[in-house]
């Protein structure tokens, strides 16, 4: 399979004419719309002609109607934007969690326990309870296996905190894994113990592998069902493309779904960085993919998460002065993996949240770029949440993409200051500072960790109003950005972050007809109302894949 991502002809941004062939006609024309194109030379249009899977012409209704041939769709003045691109998702787990126990809004331990009990009642003995995405903020301490042992005697449990960096196991799960109080600590991970020295059931970072290795693999049918559910959910939120950061592990499932004609989301997927050689050899055999499924990058981790106290900081946590977080991989391993991956021509995409992790990664990227020589490499730092002020300008200088998730800002903003203090939060989720420095910022969700709803993300980036309603003027308001800047981060910048800006990210002649229809003009309404907006339709390659019926 030959890579076609960079073969699309670069077609001049003519207002209404895609080519000089006046006889060319469209399959469909979208008209009576307020179209935000994302194309700086032609920001807005009122009509768009589509031929096959691509935009044929875009501009005024009068000019575009010259290409009339097929269907005419009158959008009644609704707002149209390029399809949203989510630059960071865990696609399979997101789909799987849609049908698992729901713990994200479990506001008390009692609710947490009752939901697990209720869900366990729907399972056969021996079936695992997974997912959950619990938060735990506002509780007294972390959950304990004793909470749930009595309600899950016949089902092993391993439910994750919403950030994916710690999970709670019940006694049944630990017994299956052969773990008791004698278990030794794990490098790059933490095993929680109570005052008696007994295991609480909380496993953090690499320690989670002690339990997860015992979880049965999903069947092919379960994988395919989860992927289809994920794509439908994404489409309902206007997402037309994703960067699936762990999808190399289930690429076979994606291929099966595509072969059955059920793929409705374009996917750029990444391989685990320690397996960079596997991806290099795959690309040599098969190429990098096509417009529906492509690859070319590797994903790794420096540290953990703020909520789990495993994000790596230069100074101790404000609420835990003995702790600076941790690296989940050694500096030597990370440097070698990045060096060899980059030398192999692969894109390097690394998770770094704390300022120490980000500083190390910027230093390593700079070192590797010098050693391997100049090329269009597009290094990425996933999350880029808590940046030392002196490192902000280095993103643009080193041409490093900040791949960020704005929903996290309005979620973490409820409690982050307690963890890292008032000074460090000034450059937390520093959207404004990064953009002002000239950095490229790409947005995503980190689904399953956060909802894959770009409208929520745009709302978060523009208003920075935390989920608890306690910051009506915005949390760290000086880091707010404009609606148009947020739209670009979800479209053209996200396309750039996967080397696909020549075929998607804006609506202009020759690019893919991936677009979303919203009920209102997001660029003119009060930003506070963005959360209440509705995705009316989602189109991928000129085909409608979602239509709002009022029950979303």
Q: Supply the CATH number for residue 65's domain.
A: 2.30.40.10
525 within domain boundaries: yes
For residues 330-348, average pLDDT: 98
**Nearest in space to 165 (alpha carbons), one of 331, 275, 352, 306:** 306
- Residue 551: the pLDDT is 52
pLDDT at 89: 98
* Domain co-membership, 103 together with 208: yes
Q: What is the pLDDT of residue 206?
A: 87
Q: Which of 212, 243, 258 is the last residue of a domain?
A: 212
Placement of tokens 């670009």 in the chain: 488
User: Residue 552's pLDDT is what?
Assistant: 46
Task: Say whether pLDDT at 16 is over 70.
Answer: no
Among 112-121, 228-237, 404-413, which stretch is predicted with the lowest mean pLDDT? Answer: 112-121
Tell me the whole-structure pTM to 2 decimals: 0.86
- The CB-side HSE value for 305 (13 A sphere, CA atoms) comes to 18
Range of weakest confidence among 15-19, 26-30, 125-129, 347-351: 15-19
One domain, residues 15 and 70: yes
* Most distant pair of Cα atoms in the chain: their distance: 81
Is 42 inside any structural domain?
Answer: yes
Mean pLDDT value across the chain: 92
CA dist list (Å): 380 to 87, 274, 292, 349, 479: 11, 17, 22, 5, 21
Q: Cβ–Cβ contacts within 10 Å for residue 472, how many?
A: 10
Q: What are phi and psi of 81, to 5 degrees?
A: -135, 160
One domain for residues 111 and 163? yes
Residue 457 has a pLDDT of 98
pLDDT in tens, 524-544: 999 999 999 999 999 999 999
| 17 prior amide bond cis, ω within 30 | no
Residues 79, 103, single domain; the answer is no
Nearest to 521 by CA among 188, 11, 44: 44
Tell me, yes or no, whether 400 lies in a domain: no
pLDDT score of 2: 32
pLDDT at 13: 34
Residue 187: pLDDT over 80: yes
Q: What is the mean pLDDT of residues 151-156?
A: 92
Q: Does 128 lie in the same domain as 54?
A: no
Given this model, what pLDDT does residue 17 score? 40
Concatenating the DSSP letter of every residue in 377-438 gives ---EEEE--B--GGGHHHHHHHT-EEEE-HHHHHHHTTTHHHHHHHHHGGGBT-HHHHHHTT
Question: Do 328 and 354 contact (CB within 8 A), yes or no?
Answer: no
Is there a domain that residue 61 lies in? yes
Q: Looking at the structure, tell me whether residues 119 and 204 fall in a common domain.
A: yes
Structural domain that includes position 514: 1-83+506-552
Residues 128 and 189 grouped into a single domain: yes
pLDDT at 549: 80
H-only helix segments in 158-307: 171-176, 209-212, 220-236, 251-259, 276-286
Indicate the burial class of 84 (C-beta count within 10 angstroms; 0-12, 13-18, 19 or more).
buried
Residue 550 confidence (pLDDT): 64
In a domain, 330, yes or no: no
CATH number at 129 reads 3.10.310.70
pLDDT of residue 400: 98
Residues 110 and 204 in one domain: yes
pLDDT tens sequence across 421-477: 999 999 999 999 999 999 999 999 999 989 999 999 999 999 999 999 999 999 999
- Boundary-marking domain end, from 176, 196, 212: 212
Percent of the chain scoring above 90 in pLDDT: 78
268-289 tens-digit pLDDT: 999 999 999 999 999 999 999 9
Assign 304 a pLDDT band (cuts: 50, 70, 90).
very high
Q: Over 60: is that where the pLDDT of 141 sits?
A: yes
Q: For residue 3, is pLDDT > 70?
A: no
Domain count, the chain: 2
Q: Check whether 507 has a pLDDT greater than 50.
A: yes
Q: Which of 212, 236, 267 is the last residue of a domain?
A: 212
User: How far is CA 176 from each of CA 63, 85, 207, 551, rounded to the nearest angstrom?
Assistant: 68, 40, 15, 42
Least confident of 207-221, 234-248, 388-402: 207-221
């Amino acid at each position: 399979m030959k890579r076609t991502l960079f073969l699309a002809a670069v077609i001049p941004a003519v207002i209404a004419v895609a080519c000089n062939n006046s006889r060319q006609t469209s399959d469909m024309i979208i008209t009576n719309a307020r179209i935000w194109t994302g194309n700086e030379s032609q920001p807005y249009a009122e009509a768009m002609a589509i031929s096959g899977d691509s935009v044929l012409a875009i501009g005024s209704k009068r000019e575009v109607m010259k290409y009339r041939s097929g269907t005419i769709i009158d959008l009644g003045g609704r707002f149209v934007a390029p399809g949203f691109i989510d630059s960071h998702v865990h696609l399979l787990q997101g789909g799987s969690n849609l049908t698992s126990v729901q713990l994200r809004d479990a506001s008390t331990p009692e609710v947490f326990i009752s939901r697990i009990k209720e869900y366990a009642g729907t399972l056969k003995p021996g079936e695992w309870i997974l997912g959950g995405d619990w938060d735990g903020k506002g509780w007294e301490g972390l959950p304990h296996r004793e909470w749930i042992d009595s309600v899950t005697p016949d089902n092993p449990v391993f439910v994750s905190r919403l950030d994916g960096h710690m999970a709670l196991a019940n006694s049944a799960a630990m017994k299956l894994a052969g773990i008791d109080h004698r278990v030794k600590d794990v490098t790059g991970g933490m095993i929680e113990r109570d005052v008696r020295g007994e295991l609480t059931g909380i496993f953090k970072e690499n320690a989670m592998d002690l339990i997860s290795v015992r979880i049965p693999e999903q069947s092919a049918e379960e994988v395919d069902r989860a992927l289809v559910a994920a794509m439908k959910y994404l489409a309902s939120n206007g997402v037309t493309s994703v960067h699936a950061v762990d999808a190399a592990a289930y690429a076979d499932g994606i291929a099966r779904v595509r072969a059955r004609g059920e793929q409705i989301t374009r996917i750029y997927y990444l391989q685990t960085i320690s397996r960079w050689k596997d991806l290099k050899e795959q690309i040599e055999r098969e190429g990098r993919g096509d417009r529906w499924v492509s690859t070319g990058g590797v994903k790794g981790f420096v540290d953990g998460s703020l909520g789990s106290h495993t994000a790596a900081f230069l100074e101790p946590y404000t609420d835990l002065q003995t702790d600076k977080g941790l690296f989940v991989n050694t500096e030597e391993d990370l440097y070698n993996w990045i060096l060899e991956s980059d030398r192999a021509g692969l894109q390097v995409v690394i998770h770094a949240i704390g300022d120490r992790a980000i500083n190390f990664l910027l230093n390593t990227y700079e070192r590797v770029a010098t050693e391997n020589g100049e090329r269009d490499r597009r290094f990425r730092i996933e999350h880029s949440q808590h940046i030392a002020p002196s490192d902000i300008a280095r993103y643009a200088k080193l041409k490093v993409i900040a791949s960020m998730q704005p929903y996290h800002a309005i979620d973490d903003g409820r409690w982050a200051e307690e963890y890292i203090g008032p000074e460090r939060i000034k450059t937390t989720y520093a959207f404004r500072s990064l953009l002002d420095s000239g950095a490229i910022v790409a947005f995503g969700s980190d689904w399953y960790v956060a909802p894959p709803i770009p409208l929520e993300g745009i709302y978060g980036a523009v208003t920075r109003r935390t989920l608890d309603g306690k910051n009506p003027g915005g949390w760290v308001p000086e880091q707010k950005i404009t609606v148009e800047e947020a739209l670009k981060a979800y479209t053209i910048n996200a396309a750039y972050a996967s080397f696909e800006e020549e075929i998607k990210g804006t609506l202009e002649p020759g690019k893919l007809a991936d677009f979303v229809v919203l009920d209102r003009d997001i660029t003119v309404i009060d930003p506070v109302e963005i959360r209440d907006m509705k995705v009316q339709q989602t189109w991928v390659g000129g085909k409608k894949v979602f239509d709002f019926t009022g029950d979303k």
